[in-house]
Amino acid sequence: MATLQTNQSAASKAPDFIAWHVQNKGEKNFWTRVGASWKHKDGKGVTLQLESLPIGGRIVLREPSEDKPQTEGRA
C-alpha cells in the first residue's frame, strides 16, 4: 500500500515549488503567491497546498528563489 505525504509533514520542510497565480492585464502579467508544493518521497507525485483559490488566470509552479517573480513577461 502506498503511503501519502500529509499536510503536516509537508509543512515541516521547505517547499519544492511555490504556486503563483498569474493574471494578464493588458501587456503585463501580475504574479501573486497562492501556495506551495512538495514532491512525494517516491518521486511519483506532488502535494499542492493552496492558501487561496484564484478565479481566472493560471497557476504556475516555480522553484523557490530569493528573487520575486517579475510583474511583466510570460510564464
Convert the pLDDT of each residue in 15-64 to its tens digit: 999 999 999 999 999 999 999 999 999 999 999 999 999 998 899 999 99
Average pLDDT over residues 3-23: 74
Query: What's residue 73's pLDDT?
Result: 55
* Report field, pTM of the whole predicted structure over 0.75: no
Q: What is the separation of C-alpha 74 from the centre of its chain, rounded to a whole number of angstroms? A: 16
The backbone torsions φ and ψ at residue 57, rounded to the nearest 5 degrees and listed phi first, read 70, -155
Query: What's residue 69's pLDDT?
Result: 62
Average pLDDT over residues 66-70: 62
